[in-house]
Structure formats: C-alpha cells, structure tokens
Amino acid sequence: MQSMLGGTSQPASTTQINRRVCEASFRGLVSYSDGLVLQEQAVERLRLGDAQEQLFLLEHPHVFTLGRGADSAHILAGKEQLQSSSIEVHETGRGGDVTYHGPGQLVGYPIINLKPDRCDVHRYVRDIEEVLIRTIADFGATGRRIDGLTGVWVGNEKIAAIGVRIARWITSHGFALNVSTDLNYFQMIVPCGISDKGVTSLSILIGRNIDIQNVAQSAASHFRDVFTREMSVGLTDLEKDSKVNEVRR
C-alpha cells in the first residue's frame, strides 16, 4: 500500500519559489530489507540528479537493528526467543546502538541533500528532533530533548529514536516514533544502549489509539516546515481526513 502525503497546493510566493521539492509517501508495512533497498535506490537517484528528494514513512515488521559500533550484548533475547517471537536482527550503516522497529511505530527515512546550506550533522539531528516534537504536540503530548542524548523524550522515557547516515551530504535512515507500539519488545534489548531510562508511546501518553497515517501526515507537514521544502503531492483522501489540517500553518 502506498498513500501520498503532503501539503495542499498553495500559491507561489517569494518564500516558496526557491524551496526544494520533496515527495512524502506512506508505504505501509515494509520489510526491513526492502526498506534498505528503497533508501539505497533513492539515494543513488538523488545523487545522479534523476529524482527529487524523498520522505519515506512506513512501518516495519518486528526487527532489532544495530548501528555502527553497536554492542550486540544489548540484544538481551537469545536466538530461540528471537525465533519464537519472529524478530529479525539486522546490522545497519546508521549511527546509534540497538533499537526496535515494529507495527505501530512510524519510521521515517528522509532522503535529502543537505548541500549547500545544511552541511551540519548536529543541526540535521536537532532538526529531526524538532519535527518529532512538533508532531507529537499535534496530538497533545509534550516532548523534549535531553542534553547529551539523541531523540525525543517525555520525562525520562523515550518516544522517538534517531539514527542517521549521511554520505556526500545525502541523508538516509532517520527516525522511529512510537505511536501504538507494543513496548514489550523493548524489554528484549537495551534501547539505544541506555539502561537507566524507559520508553513510551503516543497512545499511552494520550490514552487512546491513534491512526498512524494521521501521525505520518503530521510528520510530513512539520518536515516541510522545518526543512523549508515543498511537498510534491496532491490532496488525497488521507489528507482530507487527517486532523493535521487543523494545525497547518
């Protein structure tokens, strides 16, 4: 399934004319391996100038991923438990330690070129955090940063993890936002290598289930604003139904 997301058509203005075009799409449930191929192809097309920037929004089946230099001991589950729980394990080229992806978690893979004015890795990560802080605020949750740590937190519980790869200033990998995620899977790992803090989800915080496509719509909207992009998609039934239209700027 593929749904298109993004801003409504807007008249051109002096602030929009020079904005880069970024296509946002919700891909539904995608295997981790297929998600890697999707990113690799998009990165190469963007590098060659054959395609515009992309924001892939999707869910993965149950998987633990290890970033560069991750400690495999942070996967606490043994092989039998992993097999019985149908959890795959993948080593990746992103930064960060071990994390979990699964149904009910919104994963975002921005494939954008940071040249010429955003060639700053720390700024990029902070900007992704800002997108996520604004996104959960649309649904009534207040997120924050914690000095020295990456991601978005509510109190001392992480609601969104970030792990990125940047090659020749083109980005891949990205973020994982717990919407209605089964948090029990995090008990099988030391999330992001941090043992003294917890995890939470948007559904737990606001006390009700949330349509993940509405959250994807919100994330796409705030990505557009924070990264000053134009989303190259038309109005869809998903967008018509999304509550995020109430908070569009």
Q: Could you say which of 63, 170, 183, 192 is catalytic?
A: 192
- Please say if 22 is a catalytic residue: no
What is 146-209 written as a DSSP string? -TT--SEEETTEEEEEEEEEEETTEEEEEEEEESS--GGGGGGB-GGG--S-EE--HHHHHTS-
- Three-class DSSP category at 232: coil
**What contacts 40, CB < 8 A, 6 or more positions away?**
172
Q: How far apart are CA 246 and CA 139, in angstroms?
A: 11
Note whether 180 and 209 are within 8 A (CB).
yes
Q: How far apart are CA 140 and CA 243, in angstroms?
A: 12
Q: How far apart are CA 200 and CA 203, in angstroms?
A: 9
Nearest to 110 by CA among 51, 68, 163, 173: 173
Q: How far apart are CA 28 and CA 35, in angstroms?
A: 11
Active site (catalytic) residues: 192
